[in-house]
């Protein structure tokens, strides 16, 4: 689990760095940065239960919004026949962008959830 957290910290740092040209970097750089910091601290053996829980709640609420938004994941699956999310990296269709963002949030939620469970056990 220790090196899994180090790997996640590196990946989330890279995710944050790649957000500079995103339409909404002010949302995604803090989300990925927050996850990177908590995963790095977990790698060091420091688990912050309340910080993980706060991140989980915020990311889960945002994920629900992206799921049900008019151009969200449901729209992508239902109205646009789940067209490829990787056809081009420039997302010109809002349902593609929001579905990708939803996927990023799921990764963060899983990472913070695992660290939260570890923090509760300690």
Q: What is the pLDDT of residues 64-115, one digit of tens each?
A: 998 888 777 777 667 666 666 556 555 667 667 777 889 999 999 999 999 9
| Cβ–Cβ < 8 Å for 45, 121 | no
pLDDT score, position 100: 82
pLDDT score, position 75: 75
3-class DSSP state for residue 71?
coil
Name the residue ranges covered by the structural domains of the chain.
2-121
Residue 100, both tokens: 């990708």
Instruction: Give the separation between CA 10 and CA 92, rounded to whole angstroms.
Output: 28
Mean pLDDT value of segment 9-26: 92
Residue 23, both tokens: 């339409």
Find, among 78, 120, 110, the residue nearest to 95 by Cα.
78
pTM of the predicted model as reported, rounded to 2 decimal places? 0.87
What is the percent of the chain where pLDDT is above 70? 83
Report the phi/psi class of residue 69: left, alpha or beta, with left for phi > 0 and alpha for psi in -120 to 50. beta
CB atoms within 10 A of CB 85: 15
């Amino acid at each position: 689990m220790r090196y899994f957290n180090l790997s996640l910290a590196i990946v989330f740092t890279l995710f944050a760095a790649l957000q500079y040209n995103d339409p909404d970097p002010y949302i995604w750089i803090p989300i990925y940065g927050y996850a990177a910091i908590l995963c790095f601290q977990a790698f060091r053996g420091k688990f912050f239960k309340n910080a993980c829980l706060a991140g989980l709640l915020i990311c889960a609420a945002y994920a629900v919004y992206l799921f049900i938004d008019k151009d969200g994941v449901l729209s992508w699956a239902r109205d646009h026949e789940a067209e490829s999310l990787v056809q081009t990296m420039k997302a010109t269709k809002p349902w593609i962008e929001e579905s990708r963002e939803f996927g990023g949030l799921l990764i963060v939620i899983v990472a913070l959830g695992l660290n939260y469970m570890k923090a509760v056990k300690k």
